[in-house]
Each structure stands twice: as C-alpha cells, then as structure tokens.
C-alpha cells in the first residue's frame, strides 16, 4: 500500500502518501492535526466519529458559521480536518467493531488518542491490531505518556503547557506565566506523531511489519525546550519568563518606536555593528561590545535603542533597518497575516467547497514540494472538512468490495 505512483485514484488523492490509508480514531486537536498532516500529503484519511455528536471540536465555539441546512459549523473543527472522509461508528456496538475491524485490515496506519487502555477495552489492543494487520502502524497520543507514575492522566493542552514548563518561560516576567496563544502542545504532539508514523512506514519497507508509535503532550513540549532545556540540564540555571526579549542574545526582541513597536534580531556581531552604524551608535561602547556583555546589560540596550527610535515611525524604522541589512519585522494581527500577499504566495491559504457553507478559505499546509527542474509538485487539490458521517455509506460499500 505504501509504494504508489503518487496518484490514489480510489480516493482522488495525490501527493507523496497517495495510496496510504489512515484510520483516524482521534478527536480534539492533537490527533486530528496528525491526521490532517498525513491527508495533506495525499493519504486517504478516514475519520471515525461518534454517532450523533462526532468529534468534540464540532461543538467547540463560538465562533460558529451557519450552513445552508441551518446547522452550525464550528470553525475550530474546520481548522484541523481538511482532506478527510468521515464515518460514524459506535465502537461499543457489534456493528461498529465489525466495521473498524474491516478498516484495520485495509489500513496502513491507525491513529488514536484515547486515554491509555481505552482501545484495549474496546477489543483493539496492540496485539489484536497486529493480528488483524501485521503491517499496521499505530500512532497513540496521550497526555503525559502511556506509562510511568502519571501515565493515566487526562491530557489537555493548557494543563500540559503548565506541567511541561512552557508557561514558566512565557509571559512578561517570572510572576506572569502565560500559555502560548495556540494549543501548542496539541499541535506539537500531532507533528511529532506524524513524523513518527512516517519513520515507521519507512522501516516497514525494510521489515514488512508495522509497529506502535507513542508520543504525548508532555513529551512534545519537552522536545522543543531547546536551549532553555540545556540551561538547566547542563548549566544548572532555571529559565524564567522575561517577555519579548531573548535570554541569550541582545538586541533581540520587541522595541518601541514613535507609533508602535518593531522586532529586531541581531544574531551576530556584524548585525549589531550595522544597526549601530545606521543610527549613529557606538558598537564598542563600554559594556556593549560583545553579545555576552549586552545580554548582561539587556535593559541598558533596550533603553538605548528605544530612546534612539522614539521619534521614528514604524514604517520608516523598518525601511531603514532593511536598508542596513538588519533583520526586523512588524507584529501583525491574523487579519493582516491572511491578507498579506506573501502568505498567499506560499500556498498558506486554500479555498475548498464545503457541503453546507459553500466556498470557504482555510489555512493551508506548510510544506511545498518541487521536482529537480523546479516544477512544483505540491498537491493542489483539497477537500473541505467533512460533515459527520458524510462518507459512511460509501466507505461501507468500499469495505464490502473486499
């Protein structure tokens, strides 16, 4: 199933994963995001939902948008379920288990983010799944891990952001912990999960057998601690939130100007000297000649630059910084981001036809693909997030075909 010609005629999918069948038992965001990543790459993703209510996010709002059938559609659900098919199954019923069994036999991948042990109780333990389909790759996403002293805890993004230390690094200062403005733990779990699935599919090409891939919100957030993690594990420093300025580089952050603020990133000494030359500052002033000195005197650097920029408006300041070759940018709201031509040029908006909403625009996939001659091969056809059980009848007929 994994080796294809890049064109899945049965489901109309194109892309690197065309011909790969994914059974997506997940709900909320972490698992659905992983499934959407696979679908964006051309996999046929079959979303299994609870009859009547469907995925939890179908009710997460406002905002809701009313469809032509009078039903409210949650924009949250629209954000993480494009390019999928939907079938409603009661996994506690004989029929639901029979259909899932048939799907497993046809699948390359099964994704689930139930609390640990739930799928086992439904009769689909890892051993049972392997018996049904030895080539099956299973992705299991949990809140805090599938084992360990707190392995059974329910996982919600904001709780995980706090428990995994991210909130202690985010905010205006140590006494102002803040969550990231998107459910970053869920999103990272989905990304790591999809990455793990792809690795397992590649290994299957050598071994002929699938395996179970596990990740969690806890693991995914700790996985992106980056230099903040080694500040503690190696240097013994406990990092703290310090607002919009980098803990290890200066100047690097948000600086006020006459009519707002701009962001500046001087990641090396050459950039610092360019910045100083443009605005008539002495790069070798006492205590400012090296990055280490500037970090130790961060507030002095901030005060110096903000006093220099006090009479300069943002657009002029950005133009001067660009002319000097100093990396800089503005802080855009999401309306500005999605109306920015650069966003559209990168394929980061896609237009799809929804069964009840008509044409809607969605944030698009972040990957692009090109042939060696420069021809873009990125999948360009996308389908809208499905209605609940929209494809149930067709999928049952497909399974009957054997």
Catalytic residues: 186
Residues 6+ apart with CB under 8 A from 378: 15, 347, 365, 367, 368, 369, 370
Cα–chain-centroid distance for residue 192? 9
Q: Are 107 and 136 in contact (CB under 8 A)?
A: yes
- Smallest CA-to-CA distance from 214 within 197, 231, 202 is with 197
Phi, psi angle pair for 206, to nearest 5°: -90, -40
Among 340, 322, 323, CA closest to 331: 340
137-142 vs 212-216, strand pairing mode: parallel
- Three-state DSSP class for residue 260: strand
Q: What is the DSSP letter of 58?
A: G
Distance CA 264, CA 181 (A): 21
Whether the CA torsion 12, 14, 18, 19 is positive or negative: it is: positive
Element of type H or E holding 36 = helix 30-40
Spatial distance between the Cα atoms of 386 and 391, rounded to a whole number of angstroms: 8
- For 310-376, where are the E strands, in sequence order? 328-329, 349-354, 358-363
Read out DSSP for 138-206?
Answer: EEEEESS-SSSTTTT----HHHHHHHTTHHHHSSSSTT-----SS-HHHHHHHHHHHHHHHHHHHHHHH
Q: Do the beta carbons of residue 258 and residue 311 sit within 8 Å?
A: yes
């Amino acid at each position: 199933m994994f080796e294809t010609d890049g064109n899945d005629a049965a489901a109309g999918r194109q892309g690197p994963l065309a011909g790969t069948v994914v059974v997506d038992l997940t709900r909320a965001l972490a698992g659905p995001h992983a499934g959407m990543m696979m679908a964006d790459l051309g996999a046929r993703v079959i979303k299994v939902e609870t009859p009547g209510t469907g995925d939890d996010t179908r009710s997460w709002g406002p905002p809701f948008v009313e469809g032509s059938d009078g039903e409210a559609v949650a924009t949250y659900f629209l954000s993480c379920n494009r390019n999928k098919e939907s079938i409603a199954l009661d996994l506690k019923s004989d029929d639901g288990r029979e259909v899932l069994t048939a799907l497993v036999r046809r699948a390359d991948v099964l994704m689930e983010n139930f609390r640990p042990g739930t799928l086992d109780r439904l009769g689909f333990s890892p051993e049972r799944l392997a018996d049904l389909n030895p080539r099956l790759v299973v992705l299991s996403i949990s809140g805090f891990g599938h084992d360990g002293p707190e392995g059974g805890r329910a996982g919600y993004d904001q709780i995980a952001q706090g428990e995994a230390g991210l909130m202690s690094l985010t905010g205006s200062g140590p006494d102002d912990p803040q969550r990231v403005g998107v459910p970053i733990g869920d999103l990272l779990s989905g990304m790591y999960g999809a990455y793990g699935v792809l690795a397992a599919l590649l290994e299957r090409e050598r071994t002929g057998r699938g395996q179970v891939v596990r990740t969690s919100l806890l693991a995914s957030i700790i996985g992106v601690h980056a230099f903040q993690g080694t500040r503690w594990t190696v240097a013994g420093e406990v990092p703290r939130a310090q607002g919009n300025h980098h803990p290890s580089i200066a100047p690097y952050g948000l600086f006020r100007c006459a009519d707002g603020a701009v962001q500046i990133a001087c990641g090396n000494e050459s950039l610092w000297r360019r910045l100083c030359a443009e605005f008539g500052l002495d790069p070798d002033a006492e205590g400012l000649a090296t990055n280490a000195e500037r970090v130790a005197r961060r507030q002095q650097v901030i005060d110096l630059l903000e006093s220099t920029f006090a009479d300069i408006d943002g657009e002029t300041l950005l133009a001067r910084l660009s002319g000097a070759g100093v990396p800089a940018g503005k802080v855009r709201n999401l309306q500005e981001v999605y109306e920015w031509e650069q966003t559209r040029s990168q394929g980061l908006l896609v237009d799809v036809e929804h069964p009840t909403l008509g044409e809607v625009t969605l944030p698009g996939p972040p990957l692009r693909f090109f042939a060696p001659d420069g021809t873009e091969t990125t999948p360009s056809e996308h389908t809208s997030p499905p209605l609940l059980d929209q494809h149930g009848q067709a999928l049952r007929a497909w399974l009957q075909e054997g």
